[in-house]
Amino acid sequence: MTLRRRLASSKLAPLAALPLRAGPALRHDLEGMGATLRWLATSREHTNYTYDLQPINREHLAWFVATITGCSAADARGWMDEAADDEALAVHVGEWTLRAARAGISDPLPRFGRRLGWYALIRATQPEHVVETGTDKGLGSCLIASALQRNGHGRLSTYDINPESGFLIQAPYADVIDVNVGDSVEGLTRIDEPVDLFLHDSLHTESYELAELDAVESRLSPQALVLSDNSHATRALSSWAERTGRRFLFFGEKPADHWYPGDGIGVAWR
């Protein structure tokens, strides 16, 4: 038996292997620290972070969209590229960010991350009425509006309790967006037309998410998609999907060159 094999089976093995074990862990931590320092130097954001996805993660997102909608992965990739390469949308986001009262804590460069999946799902399913809770700056709202405009039909209703939200929602994207300020659960109970795609992105607690799902359930069209921006943290959408006889899948983000581990997209559908 070689010395290495004898050592591996001895009580000294954990100590001898410590440098081999510590190396990868320390490299991982140093890479994370580097991403944090770059982010502190280049970004203004303090919440609701934006970032690009790692290339392999974006490929997984294309297949996620294809699995849910029945479109091809090539079509899903094409729609995501369409959004990511939309120069007019990028200019719009940059200009209205710099004009905003929150310009000092918002990045003018649009980085859509998982929101590219929202865009591709809308391009694939051609909804007439999209409902979003949690407008924030309006980055996702404008991206959704862009998808609806490329489809040639459909409107977005977005809800946020903050009257200062939605500063990015300006023409031409505002032309297909109805902005609602107030409690989202109460607002959902007043919807009087079918909802073809619903996106929960407001208060990220399980109880509030379930309250929104219960409020919108009777207003969903038969083939509606129900999305959650909180499925990485709670079982609200998956448990609701099981209770209502729907399927559920989750896509987990892997941000590129960012310290934040990412969120994801939960989807429930029939």
Give 151's DSSP letter. H
Q: Is the pLDDT of residue 12 over 90?
A: no
pTM, 2 dp: 0.93
- Residue range 145-163: mean pLDDT, rounded: 98
Q: Is the pLDDT of residue 43 over 80?
A: yes
User: Cis peptide before 55, with omega less than 30 degrees from 0?
Assistant: no
Asked if residues 58 and 147 have their Cβ atoms less than 8 Å apart, the reply is no
Structural domain boundaries of the chain?
Answer: 51-269
From the options 3.60.20.10, 3.60.15.10, 3.30.300.90, 3.40.50.150, give the CATH code of 51-269.
3.40.50.150
- What pLDDT was estimated at residue 6? 73
What six digits make up the tokens of 50?
Answer: 């934006």
Give 190's DSSP letter. T
Question: Residues 233-249, buried b or exposed e (16+ Cβ, 10 A)?
Answer: ebebbbebbeeeebebe
DSSP sequence for 22-77: HHHHHHHHHHHHHHHHHHHHH---SSS---PBPHHHHHHHHHHHHHHH---HHHHH
- What pLDDT was estimated at residue 7? 64
Number of Cβ atoms within 10 Å of the Cβ of 203 = 17
- Residue range 134-141: mean pLDDT, rounded: 98
